[in-house]
Amino acid sequence: MKRSAFAIITFLFIAFAAKGQSIEEIQTSKDYIWGTGNASTLKKADNEALAALISQISTNVSSKFEQLTEGGTNGDQATVDETFKSVINTYSRATLNNTRRIVIQNEPEAVVMRYIKVAEIQRIFDGRKTKILDFAQEATRAEKKAQVADALRYYYWALVLLQSYPDGNFLTLKDEDGKDLLLSTWIPKQMNDIFSNLKVSMESTHLDGDLKTINLRVLYKGQPARNYDYTYFDGRDWSNIFSAKDGTGIVELPVLANARNLQLRTEYMFEGEANIDNELAEVMGTVNPISMRNCALKLEGEEPKPGEEKTEDVQLANADSAATTNSGMRFLSAMESAAYEDAMKKVESAIRTRNYDGIQSLCTESGYDMFNRLIKYGQAKIVSEPQFKFLECNGEVTCRSLPMSFKFKSNQRTFVEDVVFTLNKEGKIDCLSFGLNKPAVDDIMNQTSWNDTVRNVLINFLESYKTAYALKRYEYINSIFSDDALIITGSVLKHTVANEGQPMSKQAVKYTRQTKSEYMKKLQHIFRSSEFINLRFADNQVRKSGVGGEIYGIQIKQDYFSSSYGDTGYLFLMVDLNNPKEPVIHVRTWQPEKDPNFADRLKPLLNRPFRRTRSTYISNVKDI
């Protein structure tokens, strides 16, 4: 240690002589905070300098983190505990890497100094404030749509990040009436209100060997919860996370167990999904979890006997599904759909008994491959008595929808999805996909000025696109992008400190324009390196071109989760549906935030010849 200290002093003396007053002014001025590091390489020395700088920043701002600091003082010096230092360190990964640097001595005995103006420290935290407010606002929007899981996730993430923000106890958000809401108390209240408005009851029971599956009806404020995550106590331990969709969930218990008053716990932390944001993941791994006692609830009512369904729940389910058909789109009559229904009943029997021997004869080659990868590998179970409905479009028949639960080996989560089957003219299954959630379907279905074919094709396209990533259907994705497609991917950059005298930028996005071959090559690598990929779509907007036939612009919120990476943002697709059987994507872009002027921005683009549209769209994507 003495040798290191002597080396630093020596190098600083040399640097002062070489660089004049600049280093000395920084180190003696109260306007700067600085740290130095020495090591055999510049990189290691730089990391040591950053660590020293972080320690100084921790001491400087400790008084503003009352909810985290426990160290008190030592004489005139403030002290902070390790948790607090770790929280400050969550800002260092990118933000502090962009503070100003002076190389005092080069390798092999490198010395580096990192420094920052005291006045700029608050700017480091501004990005965290923006993220907290964005999460809180996103949670409010999700709650209004009965997206319970989304609302709780964003509320909790905002609450966690609040602990990593200076004066977090005093941060406010304005409501619709302009009233300031104190987040530290308002967010827990909102979460507790959600818990209190949940009702989970038993709908039906199905036996499966020595296990039984109990179908649940999940209501929020009396309406089906669009999504809801939970665990339950099976008598020995808490289960893995289960995900309900559109008011339907399940629990799995030994046959002899009684589900009456079964204990449930509403999931609200979503630690497994926090990797959609690196800063968030770091903070969640640093601060103590926040306990919400009101997340616990019990199943209501008596357990139904096998084969018995509660009348009230059946009526609710039927009313909910009927709402998706009030668009004038025609379902096939019983006589027209007889052959298709016969095929689907065989599929239902095979899934229930797990006897798949006869399935191949019911499918095309591609349909059989998808069935194996989705149904067999996903350990699918049918979670309610299906009421098959068939919609004909362009010589194909779509069977919507068969609610199933899935439990993939690589993903410790059981979730419910509506599975959509597409059958060809011969009645063979040609495609399987995860259905969009009800609000997304409604948004397209209710566009009654568009013809039935287009609405159906749009829904099928988005469902197939979403499922293709889950099943890693490389060839399908390759086929739907035009060879000269405009593909722009984006990555969120952390807030950075600019050069001397320049203000820090707000959240920035690095956009990368790729050719189709570049995008597909990268996608192939992602498929090989990821155990699972899950896209979750919501909040879609679709606009039609005024020229060029069936050209559509789609803006849709996408949550991307995989075994190694995650992000959330808004996907824009410009799709040519002039050939309904062969949709073509000409433009695909991504950005972290919703474009509030989507419709206005798109209007001039969609009302000009399409070739010009594609070539000029790039200038209309913000900040490219």
Span 177-188, pLDDT tens digits:
889 999 999 999
Give 342-384 pLDDT, tens digit per residue: 999 999 999 988 899 999 999 999 999 999 988 987 888 988 7
440-458: average pLDDT? 81
Higher pLDDT, 109 or 563: 109
Full-model pTM:
0.76
65 pLDDT above the threshold of 90: no
The full DSSP string for 118-138 is: GGGHHHHHHHHHHHHHHHHHH
For the chain, first and last CA: distance in Å?
Answer: 49
Is 392:425 a contact under the CB 8 Å cutoff? no
Is 583:461 a contact under the CB 8 Å cutoff? yes
Average pLDDT along the chain: 80
Radius of gyration over every alpha carbon of the chain, rounded to an integer in angstroms: 28
Short-list 574, 531, 527, CA closest to 553? 574
Q: Is 54 exposed, middle or buried (0-12, 13-18, 19+ CB in 10 A)?
A: buried
Higher pLDDT, 498 or 571: 571
Label residues 210-245 b or e (16+ Cβ within 10 Å = b). eebbbbbbbbbeeebbbbbbbbbebeeeebebbbbb
Using CA atoms, how far residue 213 sits from 231, 251, 253, in Å, is: 15, 6, 7
Residue type, 364: T
Pairwise CA distance, residues 449 & 451, whole Å: 6
Which range scores top for mean pLDDT: 79-88, 184-193, 438-447?
Answer: 184-193
Higher pLDDT, 323 or 605: 605
Q: Is 346 exposed, middle or buried (0-12, 13-18, 19+ CB in 10 A)?
A: middle
Label residues 262-284 b or e (16+ Cβ within 10 Å = b). bebbbbbbbeebbbbbbbbbbbb
Check residue 167 and give its pLDDT: 78
163 pLDDT above the threshold of 90: no
Look at phi and psi of residue 167 and say left if phi exceeds 0, alpha if psi is from -120 to 50, else beta: left
Check residue 329 and give its pLDDT: 55
Check residue 350 and give its pLDDT: 93
400-418: average pLDDT? 82
Q: In what order do the strands lie in the sheet with 100-105?
A: 32-39, 110-117, 100-105
Label the pairing between strands 180-182 and 172-174: antiparallel
137-151: average pLDDT? 94
Is 605:553 a contact under the CB 8 Å cutoff? yes
Element housing 570 (H / E): strand 566-576
253-267: average pLDDT? 92
Check residue 187 and give its pLDDT: 96
Give 494-523 pLDDT, tens digit per residue: 433 333 333 333 445 566 788 999 999 999
Of 130-134, 175-179, 536-540, the poorest mean pLDDT is in: 536-540
Check residue 394 and give its pLDDT: 74
